[in-house]
Each structure stands twice: as C-alpha cells, then as structure tokens.
Amino acid sequence: MGLPTLRQILELPAFSQAELLSGQSRLENPVTWVHVAEVLDVARLLSGGELLLSTGLELSRAAPEARMAYVRSLAEAGVVGLGLELVQWLKEVPLEVLHTAQTLQFPILAFRTEVRFADLAQRGALEGATTPATRVVYCESPANPNMRLVDLQRAAALCRQHGAKLVVDNTCCTPCLRRPLELGAHVVAYSATRYLNGHGDVTAGLAV
C-alpha cells in the first residue's frame, strides 16, 4: 500500500470542510507526514512530502514580504500543502500568501472550524472547552515535558455525552504501564520511535 495523495486526504471526513484555494494541479502528490507548525522557518526542518497545518499565529504577525518568503520556502522544501485555520488569528488567507501560492501552484487549504486548546489537567477545563460542535478531543497524558495527567475516565465519559471521540497520546506510559482503551478512549496514539522502541534507531508511529 502506497502513501496517500493529497487528493485522497481531502476525501477523508476530517477534511470534508476544507476549502482548496490554490494548487489544484498538485493534488496527486503523496503525503509522507502531517505536521502542526507555527514557526515561519519550519522548512529547514522538513524533508519533503509533508502536509503542514497552522493556526496562522505567526503568519498573522509577519510582514507581507516574510509571508511570501514563507510560502516560497515551503514550496522549495517539497511541502505538499499548507492548511490554515481561519478562526482566531486569521480571518482570511492574506492576499500575498494566496497570490504566491497560486503563482507556484502550491496547495493552500482553509479551515473555518476552530481547534480549541485547553489545559485538560485542570478539573473543569474540558467541560468549558467542549461545545455541541466538538467531534474529537485529543490529549497527551502524561504530557511531555511537564508530566501532567488527564483524568481519562472522566474525559472519556464527557466525550461520550457529547458524541465526541477521545484520542490519547500514550507515548510516555506505553501499554506496559497504561491502556487508555480500557479507560474509555476511542483511539490511542504512540510515537513508537521513543519508549516503545527505546533505542532511537526506528522511526515509527502507531494509532490503535
């Protein structure tokens, strides 16, 4: 089985509300990885084939020239596309970003549904962050690097009340110490490169 193309990813339910604003001719490019990144010099850390997602925080603060340079750097690094959340920091894709992307035929995806952040280690935080539109709650417990814990049973029960799915990053514990599925989680994720492998000589990720 080969890598999914950007077109196939856009056909997934999670991307059903994404608006493709540019790069329509580049949808057959394979996607090797999906990263969430805010820094504008992220291209130096990439190897090509990535789909980047951003809230637009740093982009909203940047000058027009820096925004154009950002898009060019992503295209030159072989990034497959950039998904921007148009909710809090950006309401629309800046014209210089869109024009640069269109010139380079670089895919820009727009999301108008908010991804909210909350400290789920605090009691009541999840209740305050959950709305009728919430579909997925993602948490890492213990969190890296502060090792703060989330009450997974409580979080799972609240998610079920709202018809949402609970996804838990269990990398730090591994299934040797805790099994979130037994506590009510719907999906468990692992960076298997770290504790499951233990030697740092394998790059792998798991979703159970």
Find the helix or strand (DSSP H, E) in which 187 lies: strand 187-190
pLDDT in tens, 73-120: 999 999 999 999 999 899 999 999 999 999 999 999 999 988 888 899
Topology classification of domain 125-207? Aspartate Aminotransferase; domain 2 (3.40.640)
Count of Cβ atoms closer than 10 Å to residue 188 Cβ: 22
- pLDDT tops 80 at residue 144: yes
Q: Give the residue with greater pLDDT, 131 vs 60.
A: 60
Q: Per-domain residue ranges for the chain? A: 6-111, 125-207
| Whole-angstrom Cα Rg for the chain | 18
pLDDT in tens, 2-58: 899 999 999 988 888 899 999 999 999 999 988 889 999 999 999 999 999 999 999
**Is the domain covering 6-111 a CATH 3.40.1390.20 domain?**
yes
Instruction: Dump strand ranges (E) for 23-169.
Output: 33-36, 50-54, 81-85, 108-111, 136-140, 165-169
Among the residue ranges 90-99, 173-182, 187-196, the one predicted with the least confidence is 187-196
- pLDDT tops 90 at residue 123: no
